Amino acid sequence: MAISWGMLVNLFILATLWGSAFPGIKLGLTGLSAGNLTLLRFTVASLCFALFLLVTRKRLLPDRRDLPYFFLVGFLGITVYHLALNYGQRFVSAGAASLIIATAPAITAVVAFFLLNDRLSLLGWSGILLSFTGVALIVLGDGGALSLNPFALLILLSALVTAFYTVLQKPLLRRYEAVEVTAFSTWAGTLPLLVFAPGLVADAADAGRTALLAAVYIGVFPAAVAYAQFSYAISRLPVTLATSFLYAVPVFSLLFAWLLLGEVPSALMLVGGAVALSGIVVVGYAKGRAARRAHAVAEPEGV
């Protein structure tokens, strides 16, 4: 499937913004708890979406019948994903977190196999196995010591739920615009985070300027802007094709983590990242080859 230049630019900006989110989270955690950082980030994002929908005169509420589905999508993609990511990043480097999250396309392929009957060949399953081998190396190499970091399992949980978030959006995108799906799921996912509201004001008052600015930044750009871009991408492209472009996210994350945090990844982490991303490329190749074969079978003779 050919991708337009406009979509390629969209995916490039998306990868850059999401790459900047991981060091941004680290900076936010210097002054805010993981729960309060998550709540503040998505309060900012929710306000951005409300303002945008009001200005553009788009619908402000989904149909009543879709409310439970939006709550499910928001709970997985916002509440669970970001709480697990933020609690995990307290003890996992920004670069390692981004490399683990980068396996989401491989996990998405597995989820799509079960939920969308999106078949995988033996080569595709081999790529998934390769990706998870890379994750194991990343986890062992994070921090420069050959030891298991259990908090990396929280990051892996984030990668798992974002795969469900991606696949479950598909039916909604047939009835709503991409920005509406993102806005409604963000609002739904922010509501459970209000459990942290009683401590937010005191936490924010004690946080430094850097932490607060980081929280606002990741709320506006990697959250509001980038999530809307992602929904737009998967509304126009097959899920596995759209997510396969996200392997560029760790490149930007490692760069920003080096510039902003002084993080230097270990050799084992880099090897693990290369292995994980190679697995994703294999999955993408397998999916592309299967699609070409299906098209060739479906195409009438003589055409």
Closest-CA residue to 204 (of 28, 11, 9)? 28
Structure tokens at 147: 């030891």
Q: In sequence order, which residues have a C-beta less than 8 Å from that of residue 204 and are 6 or more positions away?
A: 32, 36, 40, 212
Whether the CB-CB separation of 249 and 101 falls below 8 Å is answered with yes
Amino acid in the structure at residue 188: A
Rounded-to-integer distance, Cα 179 and Cα 193, Å: 21
Whether the CB-CB separation of 180 and 172 falls below 8 Å is answered with no
Whether the CB-CB separation of 279 and 43 falls below 8 Å is answered with no
pLDDT of 1 reads 53
pLDDT by 10s per residue, the chain, length 303: 556 777 778 888 888 898 899 999 999 999 999 999 999 999 999 999 999 999 988 899 999 999 999 999 999 999 999 999 999 999 888 888 887 887 777 777 777 777 666 666 777 778 778 877 877 777 676 655 445 567 888 998 998 898 888 888 888 988 998 889 999 999 999 999 999 999 999 999 999 999 999 999 999 999 999 888 888 887 777 766 666 667 778 888 888 988 999 888 778 878 877 887 777 677 767 766 665 665 554 554 443
pLDDT of 234 reads 76
Rounded-to-integer distance, Cα 41 and Cα 218, Å: 6
pLDDT of 89 reads 93
Furthest C-alpha separation in the chain: 72
- pTM, to two decimals: 0.82
pLDDT of 266 reads 78
Whether the CB-CB separation of 92 and 158 falls below 8 Å is answered with no
Residue 70 φ/ψ, nearest 5 degrees: -65, -40
Q: How far is residue 233 from each of residues 49, 229, 242, 244, 277, measured CA to CA in Å?
A: 18, 6, 6, 11, 20
Structure tokens at 78: 């916002």
- Give the position of tokens 């050799």: 267
| Per-residue 3-state assignment (H helix, E strand, C coil) for 61-116 | CCCHHHHHHHHHHHHHHHHHHHHHHHHHCCCCCHHHHHHHHCCHHHHHHHHHHHHC
